[in-house]
Amino acid sequence: MNRAVASGLRISTTAGPGTRRWRGVVILLPMLWLIGVVVLPMLVLLKVALAQAPAADGVVNVFSWQVSLEHLRQLAEDARYSSAYINSLRMASLTTIACLLLGVPLALAIARSPRRWRGLLLFAAVLPFFTSFLLRAYAWMGFVGSAGPLDVALRVFGVDAGILAVLGSPPVILLGMVYTYLPMMVVPVYVNLVRQDVRLLEAARDLGASELHSVVSITLPLALPGMLAGCMLVFGPAVGEFIVPVLLAGAEAPMVGVVIWEAFFTAGDWPVAAALAVVLGLLLLSPMALLQARLLLPAGESRA
């Protein structure tokens, strides 16, 4: 038997009652936190989404025990809601791809820089993340707005693009979201890259591989877990993004975060807003559940 495994078994079998009790407490605390802040709110949200249809006087009893699919049916029939989901998924996918294309080279450059400069460079890359999310969105409005730096730069080159007409268009929203979520891609990729064994690259160079070939064939495949984590950190919040589309596009941004806000706080239609949120949660959790199930499969079954 492997010595490390045997040692682990010996430790687990010799653990006393006190150790087992503390181990149970350590496991129980995060489970209680997960149930309190995730499971219970989601159950309440699901109950509101499945509330009865409005009565004759327009009142919706969200706390009755009877279940109705009326509000989910409204989502399926109203083209505005389906358009909001499609736009949100498309914008989140583009944001994730753009962050991946920009974040991986940036993280690689930081990881390959001299050790004494890495901390400072990483801090500079994630510095916007330490400022207010709303403040960053307002700053982006000033950058792309009329008489802003982008407008002035275009006029210097003789381009009168009427930047105000561009403001509110999908490219400007995409730029704002990439600027907002780029640090979430850089950090996990950087953490993965600095942990890689540099002797693999040295061996590849000794065998005649070029720098580019070493990065493509060794560095990037080993960095896939970090890139996957970065994609999940960017894609999830980007799907439900609310502040950037509202500030940069106002009411002309049919994204699901904006639609949920309008249903909750403008129309006061809590069941429809809850149904929108529940469907959005299922759209986000389903791929993660499938991926987790795939990772938990035995090696033989996964290859099949």
Closest among 131, 120, 165 to 146, alpha carbons compared: 165
pLDDT at 1: 45
- Of 223, 233, 149, 161, the closest CA to residue 192 belongs to 223
This prediction has a pTM of: 0.77
Interatomic CA distance for residues 176 and 129, integer angstroms: 13
Q: Are 80 and 159 in contact (CB under 8 A)?
A: no
Three-state secondary structure call for residue 1: coil
Interval 92-128: pLDDT, tens = 999 999 999 999 999 999 998 998 888 899 888 888 7
pLDDT band at 14 (very low <50, low <70, confident <90, very high): low
Contact (Cβ atoms closer than 8 angstroms) between residue 125 and residue 186: yes
Q: Which helix (H) or strand (E) holds 23?
A: helix 17-34
Contacts of 87 (CB under 8 A, 6+ apart): 253, 254, 255, 256
- Highest mean pLDDT, choosing among 48-57, 211-220, 250-259: 211-220
- Kindly report the backbone phi and psi dihedral angles of residue 119, in degrees, each rounded to the nearest multiple of 5, phi listed first: -60, -45
Q: What is the mean pLDDT of residues 212-233?
A: 89
pLDDT band with cut points at 50, 70 and 90 for residue 43? confident
Q: For residues 225 and 192, is the Cβ–Cβ distance under 8 A? A: yes
Cα separation of 47 and 62, whole Å?
A: 7
Q: Tell the residue number behind the tokens 């002035």, with chain if given.
A: 152
CB 276 within 8 A of CB 256: yes
Q: Is the confidence at residue 301, as pLDDT, over 60?
A: no
Identify the H or E element spanning 236. Answer: helix 224-239
- At 161 the pLDDT is 57
Helix/strand/coil (H/E/C) assignment for every residue in 158-194: CCCCCHHHHCCCHHHHHHHHHHHHHHHHHHHHHHHHH
Using the structure block, give the residue that is written with the tokens 């290859």. Answer: 303
